[in-house]
Chains A and B, each alone.
Chain A
Amino acid sequence: MDSAVSVVVPAVKVTALSKTFGCCKALDDVSIDIRPGEMVALIGASGSGKSTLLRHIAGLARGDGDRGSIEVDGRPMQTLGRLAQGVRKNRSGIGFVFQQFNLVGRLPVFTNVLTGSLARMPLWRSLSGFFPRAERELAIEALERVGILDKAWVRASALSGGQQQRAAIARTLVQKARIILADEPIASLDPESSRRVMEILARINAEDGTTVVVSLHQVDFATRYCPRAIALKTGAVVYDGPSAQLTPDLLRNLYGSQAEELTAARSTAMSSAAFITDPDVLSAAIAVH
Chain B
Amino acid sequence: MHDKAALLRAARPPFSLGKALCYGLGFAILAWSWRGAEINPLTLVQDSGNMVRFASDFFPPNFKDWRLYADEMLVTIQIAVWGTALAVLCAVPFGLLSAENIAPAWIRQPVRRLMDALRAINEMLFAMLFVVAVGLGPFAGVLALWIHTTGVLAKLFSEAVETIDPRPVEGIRSTGANAMEEIVYGVIPQVLPLWISYSLYRFESNVRSATVVGMVGAGGIGIVLWEIIRGFYFAETCAVMIIVIASVTVLDVASAHLRKLFI
Chain B residues within 8 Å of A105, by CB = 168, 190
A92 & B168 in contact (Cβ 8 Å cutoff): no
A127 & B180 in contact (Cβ 8 Å cutoff): yes
B175 & A116 in contact (Cβ 8 Å cutoff): yes
Instruction: Supply 16 further A-B pairs (C-beta < 8 A) apart from A58-B174, A90-B176, A171-B171.
Output: A88-B176, A88-B178, A89-B176, A91-B175, A91-B176, A92-B175, A92-B176, A102-B167, A103-B168, A104-B172, A115-B172, A118-B172, A118-B181, A126-B184, A127-B181, A175-B176
Chain A residues within 8 Å of B174, by CB = 58, 60, 91, 94-96, 98, 102
7 residue pairs A–B, Cβ–Cβ below 8 Å: A88-B176, A93-B176, A106-B192, A119-B178, A127-B181, A171-B171, A175-B176
Chain A residues within 8 Å of B151, by CB = none
Task: Indicate if B189 sits at the interface (CB-CB under 8 A).
Answer: yes
* Shortest beta-carbon contacts, A-B, top 6: A92-B176, A102-B171, A119-B176, A96-B174, A118-B177, A91-B176
Which residues of B, 8-33, contact A by the 8 Å Cβ criterion?
Answer: none
B171 & A103 in contact (Cβ 8 Å cutoff): yes
Task: Indicate if A123 sits at the interface (CB-CB under 8 A).
Answer: yes
Chain B: residues with Cβ within 8 Å of the partner, total of 20
With CB as the reference atom, state the residue of chain A lying closest to B192.
Answer: A106
Partner of B189 from A96, A100, A106 at Cβ < 8 Å: A106
Partner of B185 from A90, A91, A98, A107 at Cβ < 8 Å: A107
B194 nearest CB across to chain A (Å): 11
Task: Indicate if A26 sits at the interface (CB-CB under 8 A).
Answer: no
Taken residue by residue from 126 to 155, chain A's Cβ proximity to chain B (1 for < 8 Å, 0 otherwise) reads as 110000000000000000000000000000
> Which of B167, B171, B176 counts the most chain A CB atoms within 10 A?
B176
Complex Cα spacing A103 to B193, Å: 18
CB contact under 8 A between A115 and B185, given known A60-B173, A98-B170 = yes
Complex Cα spacing A95 to B181, Å: 17
A143 nearest CB across to chain B (Å): 16
With CB as the reference atom, state the residue of chain A lying closest to B177.
Answer: A118
Partner of A100 from B167, B181, B184 at Cβ < 8 Å: B167
Complex Cα spacing A32 to B103, Å: 36
Chain B residues within 8 Å of A118, by CB = 172, 175-178, 181, 185
Complex Cα spacing A171 to B185, Å: 13
Chain B residues within 8 Å of A121, by CB = 181
Task: Indicate if A168 sits at the interface (CB-CB under 8 A).
Answer: yes
Taken residue by residue from 18 to 36, chain A's Cβ proximity to chain B (1 for < 8 Å, 0 otherwise) reads as 0000000000000000000
CB contact under 8 A between A119 and B177, given known A98-B167, A102-B171 = yes
A104 & B190 in contact (Cβ 8 Å cutoff): yes
Partner of B171 from A89, A98, A123, A127 at Cβ < 8 Å: A98
Chain B residues within 8 Å of A127, by CB = 180-181, 184
Task: Indicate if B219 sits at the interface (CB-CB under 8 A).
Answer: no
B215 nearest CB across to chain A (Å): 42
B167 & A123 in contact (Cβ 8 Å cutoff): no
A107 & B184 in contact (Cβ 8 Å cutoff): no
A168 & B185 in contact (Cβ 8 Å cutoff): no
Chain A residues within 8 Å of B175, by CB = 91-92, 95, 115-116, 118-119, 171, 175
Complex Cα spacing A168 to B186, Å: 14
A168 & B176 in contact (Cβ 8 Å cutoff): no
With CB as the reference atom, state the residue of chain A lying closest to B186.
Answer: A104
CB contact under 8 A between A91 and B173, given known A98-B167, A106-B189 = yes
Which residues of B, 156-176, contact A by the 8 Å Cβ criterion?
Answer: 167-168, 170-176
